[in-house]
Amino acid sequence: MSLERDFDARLQKPSVVCVVGSPRAAGNTATLVDAAIAEFVRHGASCEKVMLADYHIMPCEGHDNCAELSACPLDDDAPFLLDKVYSADLVVFATPVYYEDVSGQMKVFIDRNCHNYSHEIWLKAKSVGLIAVAESSGLDETIATLRRYVAFSTNGRLQPFVVTGKAAKLGDAARDTELLAAVKKMAAAMMAELGARRATVSA
């Protein structure tokens, strides 16, 4: 990349949306997301953390004519949140492991992507990160669920970055230096991938 193109790319401040499926604003999952956000910001990105528990998101009702509807008929915060997520340059999906899978908040959010999928609307994100935190087990199953969601929402074109870890008690993640380092490394790698993709487009 030439110096002129590099300068132009830096003028475009990347947008990052981190979707958190934990009901705990200061829980282990949110702590790891905050560490990732700090790294994104350090690399010049603009970040927003979305705590799903703070919004009214109704479960998908499985309308048979979903593909024919111009908008989802459910009147809640989901369309507003989906607009944020689908327009971001980078997206992180983070969840605690509940009953060997994603949290209820995250599952409801995933299901509400059905309308976009039915209309072949894909995530704009050039890179996606996945974070899962478990007390003991269920990490593989949880990441598999998030991977399937990303595959359906990006038309199968992205390979997510993944960080998993264990935190049995509140505050464990904040004391786990290796886990904190892992999410920071993930954020840096996502920024690098975005830069590489922008360089390819500009070349």
pLDDT in tens, 78-104: 999 999 999 999 999 999 999 999 999
Residues 176-201 have a mean pLDDT of 93
Q: Report residue 200's pLDDT band, with 50, 70 and 90 as the boundaries.
A: confident
Contact predicate 45/18, CB 8 Å? no
Q: What angle do CA 87, 66, 96 make, to 5 degrees?
A: 55
The ranges assigned to domains in the chain are 14-202
Fold of 14-202: Rossmann fold (3.40.50)
pLDDT, tens digit, 9 for 90 and up, residues 5-48: 443 444 579 999 999 999 999 999 999 999 999 999 999 999 99
Confidence of residue 2 (pLDDT cuts 50, 70, 90): very low
The pLDDT of residue 193 is: 94
What percent of the chain stands above pLDDT 90?
88
> How far apart are the C-alpha atoms of 69 and 125, rounded to whole Å?
25
DSSP per residue over 25-82, as a string? TTSHHHHHHHHHHHHHHHTT-EEEEEEGGGS--PPP---TTGGG-SS----SSHHHHH
Q: Would you say residue 71 has pLDDT above 50?
A: yes
pLDDT band at 139; cut points 50, 70, 90: very high
Confidence at 156, pLDDT banded by 50, 70, 90: confident
Give the residue-averaged pLDDT of 151-173.
94
Q: Taking residues 177-181, what's their average pLDDT?
A: 98
Burial class (CB in 10 A: 0-12, 13-18, 19+), 203: exposed
Helix H segments across 43-129? 78-87, 104-111, 114-118
Cα distance between residue 122 and residue 132, in whole Å: 23
Average pLDDT of the residues in 172-178:
98
Report pLDDT for 155.
84
